[in-house]
Homo-oligomer: A and B are copies of this chain.
Amino acid sequence: MSTVFEMSRDELLSLYNSTLAEYAECKAQNLNLNMSRGKPSREQLDLSNDLLNMHIDPSETRVDGVEARNYGELMGLPACRRIFAELLGVRYEEVFIGGSASLAMMYDIIAKAYTHGLLHSEVKWAKLDRVKFLCPSPGYDRHFAISESFGMELITVPMTDCGPDMDVVEELIKDPDVKGMWCVPKYSNPVGAVYDEETVQRIAHMHPAAPDFLLMWDNAYCVHEFEGDFAPFIDILGACREAGNPDMVFEFASTSKITFPGAGISCFCCSEANMAYMKKLWNVQIISYDKINQLRHVKYFGNASGIIRHMKKHAAIMKPKFDIVLDALTREIGGLGIAKWSRPTGGYFVSLDAMPGCAKRIHALCKEAGVVMTDAGATFPYKRDPNDSNLRIAPSFPPCDELVQAMQVLCVCIKLAALEKLLSI
């Protein structure tokens, strides 16, 4: 197949007309499909149904001297903290078990920076005229939304295949108004990049001008490979400690995409000095999070290996879906030179870069044909993609047959938008 750039205008017109016909066929199907959010499918939810029916004997509710049914133990059940320490490679003392959503824990850390200041803050952020935050992009829209909600200035940092462009980051952090950075280090949302060792070490060794620089390390997909075995990762807390930056980082994880989204357990991890500071603040906010749900998860998994074994079942459901996405893209638009896309081995997304200026149009075309995609631009700060190029494909939720249909529509729309652009139609 020739790329569109090798085609004559007549060839382009001919391709445009056939694509237009394909698009009409798509619309005629009256589809109602959704590839917009990283939401587990019904089949994935079914994997954890034993959590719905678990038998816990009242005699089992007292573990490590803590009664899970009553108030107390702010940092969570010790047994649960041990599992997350093992899973993330951090120390037991560095783990705080939170509620059912790590997003809420991230929000809370940011909120506390504003209302109380962080351990090394000279002044609480609410008193500052300007707070800037680094947003490697394409990135996670909900991270950016938190920053935006607090009135931060969001600074776009380009993503590479091995993490944020550290040359850019190291320059930007010389500005004392730059107070932190969002990171999804493994199977990053949406590009699926795994930060390589050099990038992680450069991050750990940063010398930000702000003494209270806040590295938000959202390890949302730490065990979420769908291809190959569990890929070990660097303990960012240890790396920062060894680099002389022990208090710079907060790491987050949850079981939302392991057991039940929004009904699992979450945690944050930080240095012991940060933890002592945060415990004082958190102690005002809550007596303890849901220890019964922590107990259920401890009983269900036993240890970190139990979680990794469980993730193999998710992988078996996810892999065919990513194959559908990648096969369709290769088959339908592979040779045309009108888009590039990621080929992740874990996580929840395929990131697609269409021809500049085409993403919004593709999104609209898809919508008109009954396929809902994540909003074009959503993966950038302020929902503004400077190139209007990036689209996030979330294949987890639809069943395979629907996904095949949705990808068919998407590929037609990518072609159509590109041809409209090339032909100035």
Contact = CB atoms under 8 A, between A and B. Distances in A.
B292 A52 contact: yes
A169 to B, nearest CB: 25
Contacts of A293: 263, 290, 293
A424 interface: no
Chain A interface residue bracket vs B: 35 or more
Contact of A40 (B70, B114, B284): B70
A42 B71 CA distance: 12
Interface string A261-289: 11100000000000000000100111111
A260 interface: yes
Interface in A5-40: 37, 39-40
A99 B264 CA distance: 12
B71 A287 contact: no
Interface stretch (A145-153, A197-205, A369-377): A145-153
B103 A100 contact: no
A57 B263 CA distance: 16
Given A107-B284, A114-B126, A291-B262, A53 B56 contact: yes
A149 B127 CA distance: 16
Nearest to A265: B290
B284 A145 contact: yes
Which of A37, A54, A99, A281 gathers the greatest number of chain B CB atoms within 10 Å? A99
Contacts of A126: 114-115, 124, 126-127
A68 to B, nearest CB: 7
Number of copies: 2
Contacts of A260: 69-70, 292
Contact of A70 (B39, B56, B69, B146): B39
State the majority secondary structure of interface residues on A.
loop
Interface string A43-83: 00110110111111110010000011111100000000000
Contacts of A263: 68-69, 290-293
A253 interface: no
A189 B260 CA distance: 37
A254 B327 CA distance: 50
A262 B115 contact: no
A91 B230 CA distance: 49
A284 to B, nearest CB: 4
A359 interface: no
Contacts of A262: 70-72, 286-291
Contacts of A71: 37, 39, 256, 261-262
A53 to B, nearest CB: 5
A286 B105 CA distance: 9
Nearest to A116: B149
Interface in A167-205: none
Interface of A: 37, 39-40, 42, 45-46, 48-49, 51-58, 61, 67-72, 99-101, 103-104, 107, 111, 114-116, 124, 126-127, 142, 145-146, 149-150, 256, 260-263, 281, 284-293
